[in-house]
Structure formats: structure tokens, C-alpha cells
Amino acid sequence: MSAAPRLVVGCALLLAAAVLLTLAVLGARSRLRRNPWAGVRTRRTLASDDAFTVANRVAAAPLGAAGVVALLGGAALVVGGPGAVMWTVVVVATAGMLGFTGIGGALGERAAARVEAPVSGCAGACAGCDLVAGCRPDLAGTATPEPDRTV
């Protein structure tokens, strides 16, 4: 493997390592909030803040392992070595990083499935809950009468 591609792939692995290790630390400390870019992002994990936090806390260890694999692979590529060894490092580091990341996502998704979904007063039945009497919770024990709409 020539020097230019080896350095480019090595730097890409080092960048991936930095991102994965940052996500692992933030997830383990429950400091990663729902966002449109990073973390375990599935329908279940995005259902609530609690589900997202739990999923990323569970996924932190595999993501940390993915970051370490990427760090070691990137460092080995930057340092250099025989061509066949460098190709092996690229394959093993990439497969290990993606494998651990996938495991983290699967474990996080499974953990998010165990978190109870938040209860909504409207439950998606109407667009304007304050305007539709059928969507408001019955606080007095009796249903609110429908307004007379005759002309």
C-alpha cells in the first residue's frame, strides 16, 4: 500500500475513533441528548428522552471498543509497515469498528424497547387537542357536551 492512501485511510480511522470515543463517553455519562446526527437513532430510541439516554448508555461499551479498534488501526496505518500488513490492518480495523458499532446499536435498540413510552393525552388522535373535546382528558368525570351546531 502506498503512502498517500495509507495516510488518508489512517487519518479517517483516527477521526472515526475520536467520534466513537466521544459518543461512548457522552453516552456512558448520560450526557448525549436526542439530536439529528449522533447516537443510537431508531424509531424506539427517538420516542422519548429516556429511551434515547438508556439506549446510548447501553451502547457506550461497544462504541468505546469500536473507537479503540479504529484508534489502533489508524495509528498503525499512520506509522506504516509492509504492504500486506497494512492491508490486513485496514480490513481488520474497519470490520472491527463496524462490527462493534453495529453491536452497540442493536443492544441500544433492545434496551430502548424496554423503556415505557410516554403517555400522551391526545395519543395522536387529533391535530389540535385544545380544540377537540374528544381528545381532552375527562377531568370532572363526565364528558364535555358537544356544542350545538344547528343554525
Per-domain boundaries in the chain: 3-113, 121-151
Strands (E), 60-151: none
Q: Which three cell numbers stand for residue 39?
A: 447516537
Query: Splitting the chain (151 residues) into consecutive groups of 10 residues, what average pLDDT does each group show?
Result: 93 98 97 92 93 96 98 96 94 98 97 82 54 53 58 60
pLDDT of residue 36: 87
Q: How far is CA 104 from CA 12, 108, 138, in A?
A: 21, 6, 43
